[in-house]
Amino acid sequence: MDILQVSHREWPLPANKWIMKQAWRNVLFIHWPVSYECLRPYIPSPLEIETFDGSAWLGIVAFTMKGIHFRGLPFSVVRPFFEVNVRTYVNYLGIPGVFFLTLDVDDWASLNIAKRWYRLPYHSADIFMKLTKELLKVDSVRRNEAKSAFQGSCIPSKDVYFPAYNTLDHFLTEKYRFYTSANGQDIYYGDIHHPPWPLKKAEIQIDQNTLFSPFHIDTPGHGPIAHFSDGVDSLMWSGKKLKIN
């Protein structure tokens, strides 16, 4: 599939040139419905928290990052690494996007580059991910005093599908901008592009999850929604400070 195909997007590509390619592989999406009110203290007020079926949504996404190429360079600038992020979904003046609460990575160089370039809340972590024919295992422990951790596994189904517009699966995965704030006041964003996500339903087993503890957010007692994807290639644009109207 042509990476620059745009018929699935809700708005055009940015006018300026992309600066980086990335390959996201073996991606696990886990989502819980949560109350709007429990997320509001952690999202800057200019951003509206998006809801679907009356709930805000809190997600953990774990994947392998590889094939990082800056525009014009024929080789990757960093080794492949694992990432586990905590996110929700927001909107600013009609443009929806991911809002990252935390991002854990196991590569020091990538952590520092991304922190400076995109102002993202990256943390250093020990992360292990392994994909077999039937099972993806994820084990992540943050390298700080709190030792925020996630440990779990998923069994993807065999059937691949592309979520239809205006469905929950589409809402949880098809985002083409991210927002972040280091201090709760200054907001930064980055535009991204990728083909539609090829998804598989997944059975999820969570053995440990303390990634939400810093935010004092309780998730429902019933199981979350889980999806798996073999992955997509993506394009990234430079991060910018959001001009609040």
* Amino acid, single-letter form, for residue 165: Y
Q: What is the pLDDT of residues 143-167, one digit of tens each?
A: 987 789 999 999 999 999 999 999 9
- Alpha carbon separation from 32 to 2, 58, 91, 136 (Å, rounded): 32, 5, 19, 19
Residues 137, 207 contacting (CB under 8 angstroms): no
Give domain limits for the chain.
29-241
- The alpha carbon of 61 is separated from its chain's Cα centroid by a whole number of angstroms, namely 5
Over residues 13-63, the pLDDT tens digits come to: 999 999 999 999 999 999 999 999 999 999 999 999 999 999 999 999 999
Distances (CA, A) of 196 to 51, 52, 89, 100: 21, 20, 18, 20
Average pLDDT over residues 192-211: 97
pLDDT score recorded for residue 183 = 76
Asked if pLDDT for residue 1 goes beyond 70, the answer is no
Name 131's bridge partners: 136
Mean pLDDT of the chain: 92
Range 103-106, long-range pairs (CB < 8 A, 24+ positions): 104/140, 104/142, 104/148, 104/211, 105/65, 105/81, 106/81, 106/82
Q: Architecture of domain 29-241 in CATH?
A: Beta Barrel (2.40)
Mean pLDDT in residue range 89-116: 87
**Confidence at residue 180, expressed as pLDDT on a 0 to 100 scale:** 94
User: Is pLDDT of 116 > 90?
Assistant: no
| Residue 244, pLDDT score | 85
Alpha-carbon distance of 89 to 4, in angstroms, equals 24
Cα(86)–Cα(94) distance, integer angstroms: 23
pTM of the model: 0.95
